[in-house]
Chains A and B, each alone.
Chain A
């Protein structure tokens, strides 16, 4: 199981494309890529989850941590391309009410 993190940077805008599985084994790599960005002032991070085939609650922890950090540094945090299963995870945990989430438009991921 692996994950690739592809970061595209333009001034203070970061477009992050994730591909693969997010679980306890790959979460540390994701955290290492996201946290340095999230700690900068006034950034706008958009994370594309279209090609994430699996995510467990460990991944959720990474996103909440990054979200809190971005918010504390006056930035914006958006998640896009969520499959139905991922969307449900954010709905159940109440995170969909506080994080800006745009569901997948490029077809289902499952």
Chain B
């Protein structure tokens, strides 16, 4: 017996039971059949035709006009049948797109992967979580042969797939920079030209780039319109904004960036973030930078990686587990 014959048989049984004594149990059978019909793509007009055939079999003496009325109803239901099939096909397409985006997100993840350098002088923690499937934030670590560590954090203005595609370009532009060009201001100036030249005119990138030299404990940095991070001075126990001025990447190809320097002492911390961290919206409005400092203090006793993981979890909870923007947080803790 094929599926359709089987369905017809089930419909016949349920209908005759219900017509015999109108009880709840038989009605419940009707609901079950309805789900089966949807599962096997049986259209509304087919159900009406099934109903009509059943009635003719059960009540051969039924007036012809009543039976004719089912032909009319069948015509009326035709439009619903078409709408239903369109819905099915859209659902199918949506599923396909979802799968493709999942694959793209995995490819992106592999493309943008960066290894966190392992050196004695610095303890490094980093976390980056996309608000949707693909991430428009990006962070990057490099270690050169003089053991200097470069750290970049960038955020594409815009979200979702276009932003994520744009980020892959930044990554490859960074990889192709010659090693002597790892001075923060030169990195930003090179990338600015790449973005200005290659990216859609309404797409821009904010970026912070820093370079840490363990030999003289100097941290030099420059910013292209990026959300300022924090600096923790262990000697005074004070947090300050890691201010750096500079225009977004991609606005003007002649932009020059200013480079700043800081001596990093034992126990000091450099905290870098994307605006997804400061733009966290809770029921009481945006979180303040002070709230964030509070969270950092609370987790300061932990390893750098545990710190960023914990701060992320706490902020996620504060905004009811719904990220509005991609979230990236990096903490560098000095051990020397």
Contacts A57-B275, A58-B159 given; indicate if A93 touches B325 (C-beta within 8 A): no
* Interface 9-residue window, one of B39-47, B121-129, B141-149, B221-229: B221-229
CB of A108 to closest CB in B, whole Å:
13
Name the A residues within 8 Å of B247 (CB-CB).
Answer: 93-95, 97-98
Residue of B nearest to A67 (CB): B251
Contacting residues, chain B, for A64 (C-beta < 8 A):
157, 202, 204, 248, 251
A109 to B113, CA, bound (A): 41
**From DSSP, what is the main secondary structure of chain A's interface residues?**
helix
A57 touches B157 (CB 8 A): yes
Alpha-carbon distance between A23 and B247 when the two chains are bound, in angstroms: 21
Residues of B within 8 A of A92 (CB): 225-228
B284-299 vs A, CB cutoff 8 Å, 1 = contact: the mask equals 0110000000000000
Q: In the bound complex, how far is the Cα of B158 from the Cα of A62, in angstroms?
A: 10
Residues of chain A with a CB closer than 8 A to B325's CB: 56-57
Contact partner of B202 (CB less than 8 A), chosen from A65, A85, A95, is A65
- Minimum C-beta distance from B237 to chain A (A): 26
Q: Is the CB of B324 within 8 A of A56?
A: yes
Closest to A61 in B: B157
Contacts of A31 in B (CB 8 A): 202
Contacts of A23 in B (CB 8 A): 324
Task: Say yes or no for A68: interface residue by CB 8 A criterion.
Answer: yes
Task: From the candidates B203, B225, B279, B285, name the one contacting A93 in the complex (CB within 8 A).
Answer: B225
**Interface: A24 (CB within 8 A):** yes
Q: Does B155 contact A (CB under 8 A)?
A: yes
B252 cross-chain contacts in A, Cβ below 8 A: 98
B224 touches A68 (CB 8 A): no
A60 within 8 A of B: yes
Number of interface residues of A (CB under 8 A): 21
Chain B min CB distance to A54 (Å): 8
Q: How distant is A81 from chain B, measured CB to nearest CB, in Å? A: 19
Contact B251 A98, beta carbon cutoff 8 Å: yes
Q: B158 contacts A94, CB within 8 Å? A: no
Q: Which residues of B contact A62 (CB under 8 A)?
A: 202
B246 within 8 A of A: yes
B117 at interface by CB-CB < 8 Å: no
A residues in contact with B63, CB < 8 Å:
none
| Nearest neighbor of A27 in chain B, beta-carbon distance | B158
Question: Is B201 touching A24 in the complex (CB atoms < 8 A)?
Answer: no
Question: A24 CA to B196 CA in the complex, in Å?
Answer: 22
Q: Is the CB of B245 within 8 A of A58?
A: no
B-facing residues in A36-89 (Cβ within 8 Å): 56-58, 60-62, 64-65, 68-69, 85
Distance A68 CA – B204 CA, assembled complex (angstroms):
12
CA distance A58 to B324 in the complex (A): 12
- Taking A60-B204, A92-B228 as known contacts, 16 extra A-B pairs with beta carbons closer than 8 A to each other, sorted by chain A number, are A24-B159, A56-B275, A56-B325, A57-B158, A58-B159, A61-B158, A61-B203, A61-B204, A64-B248, A69-B201, A92-B226, A92-B227, A93-B206, A94-B224, A95-B247, A110-B285
- In the complex, the 7 A-B pairs of residues with the closest C-beta atoms, listed nearest first: A65-B202, A94-B247, A93-B225, A61-B157, A57-B157, A94-B225, A93-B248
Q: What are 23 A-B interface contacts by the 8 Å CB criterion?
A: A23-B324, A56-B279, A56-B325, A57-B155, A57-B157, A57-B206, A58-B157, A61-B157, A61-B158, A61-B203, A61-B204, A64-B157, A65-B202, A92-B228, A93-B206, A93-B248, A94-B224, A94-B245, A94-B246, A94-B247, A95-B248, A97-B247, A98-B247
